[in-house]
Amino acid sequence: MAVMTIRGLEESVTQALKKKAKLEGSSVNAVVARIIKEQLGLPKKPRAATYHDLNKLAGTWSDNDYLEFKKKVADCEKVDEGVWR
Q: Where are the domains of the chain?
A: 11-40
* Distances, alpha carbon 42 to alpha carbons 10, 27, 32, in Å: 26, 20, 14
- Residue 83: per-residue pLDDT: 81
The vertex-20 CA angle with 15 and 26, nearest 5°, equals 115
Task: Find the helix packing angle between 28-40 and 11-24, rounded to 10°.
Answer: 100
Give average pLDDT by consecutive 10-residue segment, the chain, 85 residues.
92 97 96 95 86 81 90 88 80
- Residue 21: per-residue pLDDT: 97
- Residue 61: per-residue pLDDT: 83
Identify the three-state secondary structure at position 47.
coil
